[in-house]
Amino acid sequence: MSFDQQAIEQRAARMRADILKMVTLAGSGHPGGSLSSTDIMATLYFGDVLRYRPEEPKWDGRDRFILSKGHVAPVLYAALANAGCFDVTELAALRKFNSRLQGHPDHLKLPAVEVSTGSLGQGLSIAAGIAYGLRACEQTEQKVYVLLGDGELQEGQNWEAAMFAAHQRLDNLIAIVDNNGLQIDGRLEDVVSLGSIADKFSSFGFTVFEVDGHDVAELKDAFNRAVEVQGTPVVIIAKTIKGKGVSFMENQAGWHGKAPSDELCDTALKELGTSMSEEVRR
């Protein structure tokens, strides 16, 4: 499959509509960070980056994807459903009783989820462990991708993991930071500033790429370069906008973990060129 920018953008638009629909039907959830991560996830899943088999989630040759910022489960479920891992109609069950689509990803319920997450700051360690394990089995062609939030980087465990990954030269590990600049209580700059994320990872021994996290061509190019890096782990710092694609959600910390009303969902879907009735018909 060659790179088709338009096709990825269409997937991303589809995923954004799914996220809004899902969260609205659930009456709760995390739209802000899901929307900031959408283009990253669309590039990973539909840009010929991540190797996976929708019908065989535990395929031995797969690349691994870990959603460290587990609260953006909606964007993961949207990617998996659109990739064919399960039917898109199941997205309506997000956060419902007896649903496989738990509020935070649960691999025991949904096999397409690599590992359950939800408590922040642990994904990079898990990814490093997988990367170490794959290398020990000489499965070095396979890559381990992990999506981190920027607020999440305030958890110290990330830096324990970063030290370890660089020390072990885990060049099969590719982290992506969804750098939307916001966390629940407001701007990172106001809560606790991270300083330069790039300088931090660089000083820990990572190869760092910085991209516009909503430009799928830039993202694809960064992934292409990331898989070629040898001797160090990689981090792609993707500058993003929380709530991207929905005017009233963009750059609003308040939309971190809140579902829109039916009316606001309609407005949002209209901005994305679709409607709830069209969504439900799918």
Selection from another protein, Mg ion, none that 130 binds (CB < 5 to 8 A by kind) is another protein
Least distance from another protein to the Cβ atom of residue 129, Å: 2
Longest dimension (CA), the chain: 53
- Considering only residues 4-33, where is the footprint of Mg ion by CB under 5 A? none
Residues 13, 82 contacting (CB under 8 angstroms): no
Residues 78, 20 contacting (CB under 8 angstroms): no
Residues 213, 240 contacting (CB under 8 angstroms): yes
**34 touches Mg ion (CB under 5 A):** no
Phi, psi of 69 (to 5 degrees): -85, 75
Q: Contact letters (x/-) for another protein, 43-82, by CB under 8 A?
A: ---------------------x------------------
55, 98, 108, 277: which one binds another protein (CB under 8 A): 108
Residues 209, 234 contacting (CB under 8 angstroms): yes
Residues 75, 46 contacting (CB under 8 angstroms): no
**154 touches another protein (CB under 8 A):** no
Burial of 236 (0-12, 13-18, 19+ CB in 10 A): buried
**138 touches another protein (CB under 8 A):** no
- Considering only residues 117-176, where is the footprint of Mg ion by CB under 5 A? 149-151
Judged by the rule CB under 8 A, the positions of this chain that interact with another protein are 64, 106-108, 114-119, 121-122, 124-134, 136-137, 156-157, 160-161, 163-164
Residues forming the site for Mg ion (CB under 5 A): 149-151, 180, 182
